[in-house]
Chain A
Amino acid sequence: MGRVSMTAERSTGWITGCAVLFLLGALLLPWIGPSAVDIQRVFAKAAPDYSIFVQLRITRTLLGLLVGGSLALTGGLFQAMLRDSLATPYTLGVSAGAALGAVTTLALDLDSVLGVPALWIGATVGAGVVLAMVAGASWKSGHISGVRLLLTGISLNSICSAFILLIYGVVRERRSFSITQWLLGSIDSVSYSALGVFAVAVVVSSIVLFRQARAWNLIAVGEFWAASRGVDLQRVMLTGYICGSILTAGAIALSGPIGFVGLVVPHLVRSRISADNRLLLPCSFLLGGVLLAACDTVGRIVLAPAELPAGAVMAVIGGPYLIWVVRRRF
């Protein structure tokens, strides 16, 4: 591991490998589910197989791939940006902030503002505000303190959760039902148009971040280290904050708060493939997508006909992994 230097051939190999897995996930996972879907009937557009496949399975798989990818990529990004191996959208409270923003819009029964779903706007604002607060509160004489970062993140997480409960308590029954459903962190029913808008946001943010991968390598090692090697720190960090907030908020708005994928995947990639963000960021995206989509598939078959939300399956895998990371680190 890490014995071969970063070369075009080596990284192309890894990224191609991960992309193949991603495509395989996209092609195979929609066929797996509680009710069997017949491939010939789907191509003949016969009911009910065709509608199950097109309206449920494909959208769910695509959403899982995009949400998992976004959260894993953001995890890798935050770990470089804040130089802390436990920084993820979830542990920093950014997910909770997005959730609070989203729940607020659900409670107010807002539908859309200027054509954009209000839920997305609420989530983006919530994520951005929490991220700014976490980074601001853990800033201490020129650098970000890891302990402060996590403690602030945990506190903000609790505060946001408390406000979500508060809102939940005061709204009427009909709305509290939609809130509950959303909070479970499942990735079922979503429209193709919402998926399309999210996909565009994900692709644009990811490309922006991948292009900065070398700068993120230097920032991961040290802010002054990066600045003195020629990284335009303010510009790169600002881009990171904006892209990180958009990715987290989009993922959370469409799927509810899902944790751990942002922790498990970047750590796995860092220790098994490379710490170089030119590999780490794209591979995290591709593998995170596959992992969450696979978790969702597992969730819909293990207790069939009942469904386990993808977030719950992810937590069952991610929880023990976090404990293992903490044991190795402290």
Chain B
Amino acid sequence: MTDLLDASDIAFAYGPNVILESAGFSARGGEFVALLGLNGAGKSTLLDILAGLRAAQSGSVRIDGRTLSQWSARERAQIISHLPQGIRGELPFTVEQIVLMGRYAYADEWFESDEDRRQATEAMDRMQCLGYRHRQYHTLSGGERQRVLLAACLAQQPKILLFDEPSTYLDVQQQLQCFSTLAAIALSGALCIAVTHDLNLALAHCTRLLILHRGKIAADTAVTEAARDPKWLSLLTEGMRLVETPEGRPWVVYR
């Protein structure tokens, strides 16, 4: 069985600043991967490259065994959805209009089809934003906005979902809700990759941790193995250590 996503030897530099040197990993449907790393480690850049939004200077990304650059923009959008850190939100678009944008890759007509509307409604229902579908996006709170953007990604019906810090600006309750939703999406067979700084959130919901360090994937561990091999944590900080919760799950605490 070929991997859903296979990235190898990705290199990328902004001018003289080398961001990624030879980053690579592969992943399958059903996984929920946390992409961790220090600020400036290149997490967002790697995510952009996986989404086809930036071209790597060398290396290759394969989706379903086929090189990413061979996919048309529309074909790609039917497989991969990327959630950026933020969008320009002050335009008076309604929640429903934003979610329907997720259907662009399926539309040939000037207007959305009934199927587009059905998928958008289902996605809004799943992200619990159906109740405020007619409100304007810029009047929403940070948590409400994030749910709308997630709904737009779901309406896209992708097999791979890439999230750039999906829990930023969210309160504790909404962070939990956001990550458990992503875990549920992964459980239904999609591959979810999320950039995050919240280690315990990742340990509690993700299935696998990738640590980006000095332009490479320096550690790659299943969450179930994370407690046994704490090397990944030392790549991020010396100020924290791993413990085990009474339920036997790994957990990080300050030293």
Name 9 A/B residue pairs within 8 A (Cβ), A-sorted. Answer: A7-B111, A8-B111, A83-B88, A228-B80, A228-B82, A231-B104, A232-B72, A270-B92, A278-B110
Q: Which of A66-74, A125-133, A195-203, A212-220 contacts B (4 or more CB under 8 A)?
A: A212-220
Given the interface pairs A2-B134, A3-B134, the reply to whether A229 lies near B110 with Cβ below 8 Å is no
Residues of A within 8 A of B (CB): 1-8, 83, 85, 141-142, 211, 213-215, 217-218, 220-222, 224-233, 270-271, 274-276, 278
| A-contact 0/1 string along B21-64, CB 8 Å cutoff | 00000000000000000000000000010011110000000000
Interface-central residue, B48, B73, B80, B102, by most chain A CB under 10 Å: B73
By the criterion CB–CB under 8 Å, are B91 and A2 in contact? no
Report the nearest B residue to A142, measured CB to CB: B54
Report the nearest A residue to B94, measured CB to CB: A2
A105 to B4 alpha-carbon distance, docked (Å): 59
Report the nearest B residue to A7, measured CB to CB: B111
B129 at the interface (CB under 8 A from A): no
In the complex, the number of residue pairs spanning A and B with C-beta atoms less than 8 Å apart equals: 99
B6 at the interface (CB under 8 A from A): no
Given the interface pairs A221-B101, A271-B92, the reply to whether A5 lies near B134 with Cβ below 8 Å is yes
| Minimal beta-carbon separation of B136 from chain A (angstroms) | 6
By the criterion CB–CB under 8 Å, are B73 and A231 in contact? yes
Residues of B within 8 A of A220 (CB): 88, 91
| Minimal beta-carbon separation of B160 from chain A (angstroms) | 11
Interface-central residue, A4, A229, A278, by most chain B CB under 10 Å: A229
A153 to B197 alpha-carbon distance, docked (Å): 39
By the criterion CB–CB under 8 Å, are B84 and A225 in contact? yes
A2 to B136 alpha-carbon distance, docked (Å): 8
Residues of A within 8 A of B104 (CB): 214-215, 218, 226, 229-231
| Minimal beta-carbon separation of A240 from chain B (angstroms) | 16
Report the nearest A residue to B107, measured CB to CB: A214
Given the interface pairs A5-B96, A6-B97, A276-B97, the reply to whether A221 lies near B91 with Cβ below 8 Å is yes
| Minimal beta-carbon separation of B113 from chain A (angstroms) | 11
A278 to B101 alpha-carbon distance, docked (Å): 13
Given the interface pairs A211-B110, A213-B110, A224-B84, the reply to whether A232 lies near B74 with Cβ below 8 Å is yes
Contact among B14, B81, B93 with A141 in the assembled complex (CB-CB below 8 Å): B14
- Count of chain B residues with Cβ under 8 Å from any Cβ of A? 40
Given the interface pairs A2-B134, A221-B88, the reply to whether A227 lies near B53 with Cβ below 8 Å is yes
A147 to B113 alpha-carbon distance, docked (Å): 39
Report the nearest A residue to B110, measured CB to CB: A278
Given the interface pairs A230-B76, A231-B104, the reply to whether A224 lies near B82 with Cβ below 8 Å is yes
| Minimal beta-carbon separation of A86 from chain B (angstroms) | 13
By the criterion CB–CB under 8 Å, are A217 and B111 in contact? no
Contact among B48, B53, B76, B101 with A217 in the assembled complex (CB-CB below 8 Å): B101
Residues of B within 8 A of A (CB): 14, 48, 51-54, 72-74, 76-78, 80-82, 84, 87-94, 96-98, 100-102, 104-105, 107, 110-112, 134, 136, 152, 156
Contact among A222, A230, A270 with B84 in the assembled complex (CB-CB below 8 Å): A222
By the criterion CB–CB under 8 Å, are A221 and B98 in contact? yes
Interface-central residue, B89, B91, B96, B111, by most chain A CB under 10 Å: B91
By the criterion CB–CB under 8 Å, are A228 and B84 in contact? yes
- The 6 A-B residue pairs whose C-beta atoms are closest, nearest first, are A230-B77, A230-B105, A228-B82, A230-B74, A232-B73, A229-B104
A3 to B136 alpha-carbon distance, docked (Å): 9
By the criterion CB–CB under 8 Å, are B48 and A224 in contact? yes
By the criterion CB–CB under 8 Å, are A229 and B101 in contact? yes
| Minimal beta-carbon separation of B242 from chain A (angstroms) | 35
By the criterion CB–CB under 8 Å, are B110 and A2 in contact? no
Task: Identify 6 new A-B residue pairs, CB closer than 8 A, beyond the known A214-B107, A230-B77, A275-B91.
Answer: A3-B94, A3-B134, A5-B100, A7-B111, A221-B98, A229-B102
